[in-house]
Amino acid sequence: MSEWFRRFGGPGGQVRPELLAPRLYCFPHAGGAASTFVPLARELTPELDVLAAQYPGRQDRRREAPFADIGTLAEALADHIPVADGTPYAFFGHSMGAVLAYEVARVLQRRRVTGPAALVLSGRRAPTPEPSSHDRLRTDADILRAVRELGGTTPQLLHDPELREMVMPALRADYRAIGSYTWQPGPPLAVPFTVLVGDRDPVASVAEARAWQHVTTAPARTHVFDGGHFFLDAHLPRVARTVLDALGHVMPVSAAR
């Protein structure tokens, strides 16, 4: 297993290899780590083989320098996705992770290799030439205020000075990366999109989420959930069903629920 991805699942982390379970590569939000996706992986295993990206600069990779550029990080992630073994795969990304899922898919398209069978894009507006004001956070105080308001980090981490200093390098780098991200127009993807958004998300309105349909030539379906930016936590069973539906066209028949 690549140092870039962690495999999660149900009890024992087991999948059913005889079903050739499609892989779901998950990309965390700014400041997030692979373990963010443990609850979702438990819902999706054994139907899917769930692998979550572990960006440098956090948890077991905390001694590595974090990336502060979306394009460079997307290229590095694409290097560690085994596209040649024939196993169907898809991407799931939340917030900054949605941008990475999209940009990694674009990298693979430029490389002319087999791309993902589907993209599930959560908690993020569609890319536009104009950057989002919510991404432009200049100081630690701005970052901490945004994290508190969005609710994506355990409160104890933010109130304990020692713990806060452990997570701040990754947060700074991630917000620098997403804050400097400028979408470059190019050929649309030919991949079906499933877009998830909270109806009270302060950083991605329903209309902004629906606009993902403009960067793919395949169908794009938007699912609206009750909640804010981290609505996923309150709707895990429904999110899992939505993900499985999005991958229905590559699921083994015997894996149907």
Known catalytic residue: 95?
yes
Q: How far is CA 65 from CA 71, 133, 176, 228, in A?
A: 16, 26, 13, 31
Q: CA-CA distance, 130 to 180, in Å (whole number)? A: 11
DSSP label at residue 50: E
- Distance CA(181)–CA(117), nearest Å, equals 25
Instruction: Determine phi and psi for 56, rounding to 5 degrees.
Output: -60, 150
Catalytic residue among 95, 132, 133, 254: 95
Q: Hunting for tokens 């400041």 — which residue is that?
A: 31
Residues 6+ apart with CB under 8 A from 70: 96, 99, 100, 103, 177, 178, 180, 181
DSSP-derived 3-state class of residue 94: strand
Tokens 């355990």 — which residue?
A: 154
Amino acid at 197: V
Active site residues: 95
